[in-house]
Amino acid sequence: MKLLTCPVNGTRPLSEFVFGGEMRNMPDPAQASDSAWAAYVYNRTGAPGLKKEWWFHSPSGTWFVAERNTLTDQVARTYLYGQEDKA
């Protein structure tokens, strides 16, 4: 991957982007057990595959979601958070 498509600014060189890590759902802190919370804080899906990730286009300050295969490093699609259906 040398280029990445920002949903707002189009295809740009990778050097303009910052990786924000795997997208994860936060459990309800009031309901979650201590160990479920610790697992949320630390554990990750480390095995390769298609993942939803946070990426940041730094010149424009845009956070968005990329669906990327972490084995082949190919991006299936990118979209703004909450606009998955339109992508």
Partner 1 sequence: MPLRLLKYALSRKHPAPRFFRDCTEPKKSYDAVIIGGGGHGLAAAYYLAKDHGITNVAVLEKGYIGGGNTGRNTTIVRSNYLTPEGVNFYDASVKIYEGLSEELDINLFYSTRGHFTLAHTESALRTMRWRAEVNKHVGVDSYVVGPDEISKACPQLDISCSGKAPIVGALYHGPGSIARHDAVAWGYARGADSMGVEIFQNTEVTGLDIQSGKIKGVHTSRGYIATNKVLSAVAGFTPRITNMAGVDTPIVIHPLQACVSEPMKPWLDTILVSGSLHVYVSQSSRGELVMGSSLDPYEVHSTRSSLDFVEGLTSHMLDMFPFLSNVKIVRQWAGMADMTPDFSPIMGTTPVEGFYLDAGWGTWGFKATPISGKTMAATMANDQAPELIKPFRLSRFEDYDLTGEKGAASVGH
Q: Of how many residues is the chain composed? A: 87
Q: DSSP assignment, residue 53?
A: E
From the list 11, 25, 31, 43, which residue makes contact with partner 1 (rule: CB under 8 A)?
Answer: 43
From the list 10, 11, 15, 86, which residue makes contact with partner 1 (rule: CB under 8 A)?
Answer: 15
- ∠ Cα 6 17 42 (to 5°): 110
Task: Please say whether the beta carbons of 22 and 53 come within 8 A.
Answer: yes
Q: Which stretch binds partner 1 (CB under 8 A): 24-32, 64-72, 79-87?
A: 64-72
What's at 1, amino acid-wise? M
Q: CA-CA distance, 39 to 74, in Å (whole number)?
A: 28
Q: Which stretch binds partner 1 (CB under 8 A): 24-32, 45-53, 56-64, 75-83?
A: 45-53
From the list 9, 19, 50, 76, which residue makes contact with partner 1 (rule: CB under 8 A)?
Answer: 19
- Residues near partner 1 (CB under 8 A): 15, 18-19, 22, 34-35, 38-39, 41-48, 53, 70-73
